[in-house]
Chains A and B, each alone.
Chain A
């Protein structure tokens, strides 16, 4: 669950977990987060939370709302965003520790049963569309209220249990961010969410720990400054020309005659034969169908043209 930390001049005042679909912020006492300061409007801003995502909206406040120093009207909150209202700061933090502990579990596909009305792909008039989606979003929120323990009681009674558990919250009127729409009344079926991750499954043995999986690759793919691979043509009519290998894939050769591709990967550059009867030659040695790693100053022969691969320091 995400939370907001309210602070003033670097002093932490309070933490607010984002448990509700709609969390209001303002000076007046009926708000969920009350900031009693004249720079704050009565109803200043609102945060809508749908499962793991939160959206911040300024409610037309007098002095505005900033996120990371930029004034916003609507904003999709990201981890560690700092929301500023007057001199007050609200830091948004998702429950990163839990997510990092088991990224695999968090990304397991789950079914969120939507009513047929909102699942129909037919184009609808703009006016009713907003409302309809709001309805299904309301349901989505209702689903998360399902008691996890309830979901673990498996067997034939599972769906019924889930249904009963969700019937309450999803049937309750949902505070819609937009004016209510005609579709609200049509989509009424309760929507149980069938948790399908291993941790939710009937458990004769502990679920396979994500740690058992190969080490997760955390480093961003192309983030680190990698030396830029470059091809310099050595022979033929375009001798002397340089070709920077900045794209993930660069093809070389003559289509229909002989083509090879150089792939830029986190661990370096690799050349692979694509088409043609003859395979590319690297440093005088003919390749097979496998990808071949390229080293600085390797000489490639392809479709009768010699070229050199080298690395330009980043």
Chain B
């Protein structure tokens, strides 16, 4: 099913003001309703390699899989949307592939990547994430973070040891507790959310949310919702104006109208004539 009439996407990625390389990778497919963002880590260009493998492999696998298995169907085993199972499978594949590359080629040893993948289908968004790359949602003027970082700081916040305010000043920002490609297996957090007309979603690497306050992200999304690509470049520019200490990547998704799945043969026929 082609979602390009119902949703709009824009993205931007930038090396930032300090780093020599951009180790982030992004991929979008508006027809499939897919957005992938990865923030690689590892020496030399290994970070780019890890995030590049993740985005390329997941984009390809997702495009192929959603043709075979309708992602909006219900998973008989656990009652979740099939999209959740598909996302778990492809992230596991990406993990195995990066882990294997890291262990077979010495120059890639220890490489890994964070990951956030969103698939939109049947008026829902299914998101899988590993590490500290995030998904935010802007709905009815309110900005909400839908993913919870796998990071040391998040654990400290959860335990009440430090407040969010303290976390902004912490020197431990860069420690993730989960990443793709580091261990033989990794578990992605997968959640599904209902989507409403007018919703906006933001996928970003920590280069954005470490440099730009949520309040300013919020202001940008509300002010520039009518021009997504400008909103994306504006977010990157704000991170750079604030120092741009890390690579910055953003993917924006705006829901223009509902996109219920075309179930049954009549629906498919209708979709085909559209």
Contact = CB atoms under 8 A, between A and B. Distances in A.
B161 A133 contact: yes
A199 B41 CA distance: 12
A107 B210 CA distance: 11
Contacts of B43: 196-202, 207
Contacts of A110: 41, 174-176
A213 B18 contact: yes
B252 to A, nearest CB: 14
B244 interface: yes
B150 interface: yes
A275 B150 contact: no
Contacts of B179: 111
Contact of A202 (B109, B158, B220, B230): B109
A235 interface: no
A51 B219 contact: no
Interface residues of B, number: 67
Interface stretch (A3-11, A65-73, A113-121): A113-121
Contacts of A214: 17-18
Contact of A76 (B103, B110, B166): B166
Contact of B176 (A51, A109, A136): A109
A259 B226 contact: yes
B219 A217 contact: no
Nearest to B166: A76
A17 interface: no
A124 to B, nearest CB: 9
B74 interface: no
Contact of B114 (A108, A109, A221, A247): A109
B78 interface: no
A217 B244 contact: yes
B9 to A, nearest CB: 17
B187 A116 contact: yes
A121 B220 CA distance: 30
Contacts, number: 192
B63 to A, nearest CB: 28
Interface stretch (A19-27, A33-41, A150-158, A300-308): A150-158
Given A119-B177, A274-B224, A194 B171 contact: no
A221 B237 contact: no
Nearest to B147: A121
A216 interface: yes
A113 B151 CA distance: 10
A248 B216 contact: yes
B19 interface: yes
Contact of B224 (A132, A207, A249): A249
B107 interface: yes
A207 B17 CA distance: 18
Contacts of A213: 17-20
A76 B20 contact: no
Given A53-B172, A133-B155, A248-B219, A196 B112 contact: yes
B111 interface: yes
Nearest to A197: B43
Interface string B93-114: 0000000000100110111101
Chain A contact residues: over half helix, strand or loop, or mixed?
A: mixed
Given A104-B19, A263-B234, A111 B226 contact: no
A265 B109 CA distance: 41
Contact of A196 (B18, B111, B178): B111
A154 B238 contact: no
A51 B171 contact: yes
Interface string A26-56: 0000000000000000000000001111010
A241 B226 CA distance: 26
Interface string B174-188: 111111001100010
B245 interface: yes
A249 B175 CA distance: 32
Interface string A252-268: 00010001010101100
Contact of A201 (B110, B170, B175, B244): B110
Given A136-B155, A202-B107, A249-B234, A196 B187 contact: no
B170 to A, nearest CB: 6
A134 B234 CA distance: 40
A106 B234 CA distance: 26
A109 B178 CA distance: 11
Interface in A170-210: 193-202, 207-208, 210
A156 B170 CA distance: 33
Contacts of A287: none
Interface in B143-180: 148, 150, 152, 155-156, 158-162, 166, 169-179
A137 to B, nearest CB: 7
8 contacts: A76-B169, A114-B150, A133-B158, A136-B155, A195-B110, A201-B42, A201-B107, A216-B17
Given A76-B166, A137-B155, 9 more contacts: A110-B41, A111-B176, A118-B177, A136-B177, A202-B106, A208-B21, A217-B243, A247-B219, A261-B230
